[in-house]
Structure 1
Amino acid sequence: MAQQNRLIQDARYERRRRKLLKQIKGEIAIFPAAPEQPKSRDQLFPYQPNTDLLYLTGFEEAHSVLVLLGSTKGPRSILYLRDRDALHERWNGERLGLKRARRRFAVDEVHPIEAFESQLMKLLEPFQTLHYPAGVNPRIDQIIWRAFCSQTAPRVQGPHTIRDARLLTSLMRIRKDREEIRALRHICEITANAFVHIAPLLKSAKSELHAARMLEAEFFKLGAHGVAFNTIVASGKNATVLHHEPSLQPLWKRELVLIDAGASFQGYAADISRTIPPSGKFTDAQAKVYDVVLAALEASLERCQPGSDLEAIHTACVRALIRGLQELDIIKSPAPKAYNDAEYRRYYMHRTGHWLGLDVHDVAPIYCGEYLVPPSSRPLEPGNVFTVEPGLYFDSNDETVPPEFRGIGIRIEEDVVITATGAEVLTSGVPRARLEVEQLIR
């Protein structure tokens, strides 16, 4: 990736490695690249890096491993990667190679990936604890496991404990620095502009799949590096399926279209959802449901401030949805009972938001003993970035719902960063008020 197209410079990655090394004095951490994934006998899917390795290096090639040694004699960092290979590069594209990697990444040592297994035992010997993210790369898992089993044999030095390295990186990644927020703001702006451009054109789309590809093409036209996750375009009752895959189903004018999509830039993801009437006008039933979801979004955003937490935001959202469902005569119980008995879960079955960053579902909670890291009750602080995405989903055959609402699925999603004084909605460039959405389509 050309340096002029990078919002996060290489010095930032070096500072992150130094910060992590301070946390593992007397210990060793190993971060493997994700493996390439076969698509067919001789084709691969587009490569998706291990985002922890990307966070610590900015390096996006497969077949690489970062080793961080918190030695008491002085911390060291070692990067293993593929060297240059003219024949391979003729077929599959240029590699960075050892010499350029040494200059660019400011690591202490650079070695060919072929040397990793033979050098591993010596690297492990001085340390009692190994931090390693099992499951990221099965081949490296096997190498690590063989070495670990050897080291735990009687009279052999080396680690006797393995801890999940993601416990270290998750707590670093949850708070974005200024460069990360710049990257997220940039990709959210690209995604929002693409939504605004495509929304009036939905009426010309031949199918859900066509609409999805139109939106993704606009991402790249506006400068995105990739698509953050599989684009969701769901028409009519398909919108009640949370992760519907776009099909060849036409977009009918009288039915709503739910779009959940995001572009990516330098690895960072955006995630926006809007529900749109291709005709340019919500029906009365659609408008009533939309306004309930919008009110829940506004109630959630009010709780987005330092010191709050994702649990409080979710609670505010659920209470607003319950009020709306009572007004629609769908929930008939008193609000406290409907909340305590989770009656709303029939129509709203997901959480109100998730952390956002290099992964669209960023720094997912990891069990550490009896605790989740980071828990949903973790107090929000400046630099936290997450989504707020209330919705209502009424199955077309659900007899607990009045007939006019059946088959309606609506989600509205914004990306938010906590600031010192409150919160900034990074995706506010896409209208969300019902009349503004109608005006955009027309």
Structure 2
Amino acid sequence: MSPEEVKARGWKELDIILITGDAYVDHSSFGTAIIGRVLEDAGFRVGIIAQPKWDNPEDFKKLGKPRLFFSVSAGNTDSMVSNLTPGLKPRDKDAYSPGGETGLRPNRAVIIYSNRIKEAFPEVPIVLGGIEASLRRFAHYDYLSDKVRQSILADAPADLVVYGMGELQIVEIAKRLQAGEDIREIRDIPGTVWKMEVKAWKELKKGKKTAKEQNGQEQDKREQKGERESISTAEGMARDVAEGVAESSGEFFKEYIEIPSFSEVSQDKADFANAFRKYFMEQNPVTGKGVVQPHPKTVIVQNRPMRPLTEAELDHVYELPFTGEAHPFYPEPIPALEMVKFSLTTHRGCFGGCAFCAITQHQGRMIASRSIESVLREAKKLTEKPDFKGIINGVGGPTANMYAMGCKSWEKKGACLDKACLYPVSYTHLTLPTN
């Protein structure tokens, strides 16, 4: 997006700017396009900077300073997967870049983009999202460096991570910032990850004085001395924990569990496996708890997952006015678009539980499906495109054969995390599509 395009829409400033490591394609198979359209549909003025140069902050300034926040994504895939083969050799093609050109995004794109934004606009909030941020939200094994790295939120100068499918979270964040709320106070949205001060965490762990009580005592001392109120960052965060998340350490730990710390998982494989198992078991939007992982200089707090979209919500998202085309700026086609241009997304999620797959950590184990009517309406629009050749070459989702499938227990318990629904036994609670 260019400054001229912003002016052409009659906008003097943008509310939100999305940064992506992919070329911009206005198609519902591309995460940045969905988030941009959803925010626009909610009434926000949205700009997009695709594949910015990252050696200095100048490219990040070209649309000006957003009124609310920057949202940063590496794109549809992890940046290192886009750039490198399993043998750590540079790939000779990037499917999400014009003409398949390589070298248009850095490794660890989310961290690098966030640092450039902070250099350009140090006071503007940064929200991370997409597959790279989602799957690196806790301490994780990093294939490139062959070691365990910190949570991406500990390494990037950002305020929040939106994990999983982010439509509901990103709109809620935007509305609350629009209403004047400080991003450091947004601590209760499901499907988000935030940072807690180490001091506040230690106070919760000890279960002695709550941060609220400490702040009250400090305030009394200042008032007695006639000093002007001044609350430090650490005190402010402690107050936030006490007032916004829990009234006491006891109540906090009813809603959150602790997993092995970064220091533990980086030194012991058993602790690493235990940490993964613990947070995997909480990836349930109905019964899951929040998850806390201490790091040396911060504490990573994941709220429980966001619920899946309803059928009506999913229909609405996929029927937003996507053009289905790459931005006209690009002189060459985007290979990834050519693969999905005449395809339809019918559903999200997977309850298969395959050990090698991370889809449940991003889309969840509960299936969210569009209505047949919505799918047919989109199919009709595809047939009206001038370059349509008579074939819709893909209809489905991450698990093509799970469309409209469900479970009688999902409403009350969410997806079962201790069993596979299809093998070795097909469970009787499983419901199949009726038409």
What interval of TM-score do these two structures reach, taking the shorter chain for normalisation? under 0.3
TM-score of the superposition, structure 1-length normalised? 0.22
Q: TM-score, normalised by structure 2?
A: 0.22
Query: Looking at CA atoms only, which structure, 1 or 2, has the larger radius of gyration?
Result: 1
